[in-house]
Amino acid sequence: MTSVLVKDLTLKFGALTVLDNLNIDIPEGEFLVLLGASGCGKSTLLNCIAGLLDVTDGEIHINDRNVTWEEPSGRGIGMVFQSYALYPQMTVEGNLSFGLKNARMPKDEIQKRVARAAEILQIEPLLQRKPAALSGGQRQRVAIGRALVRDVDVFLFDEPLSNLDAKLRADLRVEIKRLHHSLKNTMIYVTHDQVEAMTLADRIAIMKGGIIQQLDTPTEIYNRPRNKYVAGFIGSPEINFFEGTIEGDAFVTGGARLSLDGYAFKVTATSGPAWLGIRPEHIVSGEAAASLPVTAEVTVDLVEPMGSDTLAWASLAGVPLRIRMDGQAAVASGDRIRIGFDPARASLFDKQTEERL
């Protein structure tokens, strides 16, 4: 069953088109992440779904009901904001019950719901405190609770973890995932953090310039990016790109001839100018490289050890090359190493359209 349906959504601020004829169909219980660089329109889309912005054109349906003209409170949504947006003059309990009081719900029902949300989020001891007396993580939990008590079908998260420090962010990320597993609500989550997107999402929508570039499962987006922008946006360290041409079963770049043996073309094998992308973690070095279809010998010019792994910089065919190696790899700048990769793990994009080939 469809939970949220966005149909031909367009939003303009004067002459500026922020969202352009956007369509998404989100099934019930799905965790959808809207991912993109700042200014791509992802928060705007979320605000449109919430009803906080009037759309220029198009429709929004929630639970098979056209809510395009509904007030935010009438849409059956709960929203969590980046800055928590807790009402400073109210206690935690007051914050949780504010929406319910506005809906003129009976007192005992309010109490029941607040107690349940507090239990799920483990904020019972904090109920009588004011937001100023809470830590960042606790505040965000209360903000989630405010959406929880309203017993809504759809949760909207607007970069909820961006204001937290790295460790807390990782903890709360897991908690949000657990919450989704136990509640099974539809959740739409806006972030610019690809780790959050990859770990949380059932599907990711990567946006750029108000247009969804790709809407797919995290694995599909990572392994088979639909265009060059998506390939470059997902993955850290960034994917390596080579400019060249496809000639028969090989990719020619800067004098080097890289075999394309095993590459699965989208339609049929083509030739002509193209980009080749290969992720740093898909480049194998040392002994194992010898057996791969594409091999080369490069000089390491910089090493960035990161503990869990090591990033080595070299250059291939005149282009800087990032190679992700084991954290224990004994490599120093100046070393000559043998590298190789499997073309099946690479991605080819058309030179002109930048679409996947």
Partner 1 sequence: MADAVTPRGPKPRPRFSRTNIMLYGTLIVVAAYYALPLYVMIVTSLKGMPEIRIGNIFAPPVEVTYQPWVKAWAEACTGINCEGLSRGFWNSVQILIPSVILSIAIASVNGYALANWKFKGSEVFFTILIVGAFIPYQVMIYPIVIILREMGLYGNIWGLVLVHTVFGMPILTLLFRNYFTSVPEELFKAARVDGAGFWGIYFRIMLPMSLPIFVVAIILQVTGIWNDFLFGVIYTKPADYPMTVQLNNIVNSVQGVKEYNVNMAATLLTGLVPLIIYFASGKLFVRGIAAGAVKG
**76 sits near partner 1 (criterion: CB under 8 A):** no
Only one of the segments 78-86, 110-118, 177-185, 243-251 lies at the binding site for partner 1 (rule: CB under 8 A); that segment is 78-86
> How far is C-alpha 357 from the chain's CA centre?
24
Cβ-based nearer residue to partner 1, 85 or 252: 85
**132 sits near partner 1 (criterion: CB under 8 A):** yes
Does the CA dihedral 39-43-49-52 come out positive or negative?
Answer: negative
Q: Which of 27, 72, 209, 305 binds partner 1 (CB under 8 A)?
A: 72
Residue type, 123: I
Q: Which of 27, 58, 136, 232 binds partner 1 (CB under 8 A)?
A: 136
Q: Which of 73, 270, 299, 315 binds partner 1 (CB under 8 A)?
A: 73
User: Residue 293 Cβ, how far from partner 1 at the closest point, in Å?
Assistant: 51
**145 sits near partner 1 (criterion: CB under 8 A):** no
Which letter, b or e, does each residue of 333-346 get, where b requires 16 or more Cβ atoms within 10 Å of its Cβ? eeeebebbbbbebb
List the one residue out of 130, 34, 29, 44 whose CA is nearest residue 84. Answer: 130
Only one of the segments 20-28, 71-79, 240-248, 311-319 lies at the binding site for partner 1 (rule: CB under 8 A); that segment is 71-79
Cβ-based nearer residue to partner 1, 72 or 209: 72
Residues 326-355 that bind partner 1 (CB under 8 A): none
**128 sits near partner 1 (criterion: CB under 8 A):** no
**54 sits near partner 1 (criterion: CB under 8 A):** no
Cβ-based nearer residue to partner 1, 51 or 280: 51
HEC-encoded secondary structure of 91-157: CHHHHHHHHHHHCCCCHHHHHHHHHHHHHHHCCHHHCCCCHHHCCHHHHHHHHHHHHHHCCCCEEEE
Q: Which of 130, 192, 338, 351 binds partner 1 (CB under 8 A)?
A: 130
List the one residue out of 73, 47, 76 whose CA is nearest residue 61. Answer: 76
Q: Which of 133, 174, 288, 290 binds partner 1 (CB under 8 A)?
A: 133
- By the 10 Å C-beta count (0-12 exposed, 13-18 middle, 19+ buried), 13 is classed as exposed
List the one residue out of 171, 158, 62, 87 whose CA is nearest residue 121. Answer: 171
Residue type, 288: A
The C-alpha angle 41, 5, 2, rounded to 5 degrees, equals 140
Cβ-based nearer residue to partner 1, 145 or 235: 145
User: Residue 107 Cβ, how far from partner 1 at the closest point, in Å?
Assistant: 17
Cβ-based nearer residue to partner 1, 48 or 283: 48
Residues 156-185 that bind partner 1 (CB under 8 A): 158, 163
What CA–CA distance (Å, rounded) separates 332 from 65? 61
Cβ-based nearer residue to partner 1, 78 or 235: 78
**186 sits near partner 1 (criterion: CB under 8 A):** no
Residues 83-112 that bind partner 1 (CB under 8 A): 83-89, 98-99, 102-103
Cβ-based nearer residue to partner 1, 26 or 79: 79
User: Residue 263 Cβ, how far from partner 1 at the closest point, in Å?
Assistant: 47
- By the 10 Å C-beta count (0-12 exposed, 13-18 middle, 19+ buried), 190 is classed as buried
Q: Which of 47, 68, 138, 253 binds partner 1 (CB under 8 A)?
A: 47
**127 sits near partner 1 (criterion: CB under 8 A):** no
What CA–CA distance (Å, rounded) separates 10 from 37? 19
What CA–CA distance (Å, rounded) separates 64 from 60? 9
Q: Which tokens is 181 given?
A: 């597993």
Q: Which residues bind partner 1 (CB under 8 A)?
A: 47, 50-52, 71-74, 77-79, 81-89, 98-99, 102-103, 130-133, 136, 139, 146, 150, 158, 163
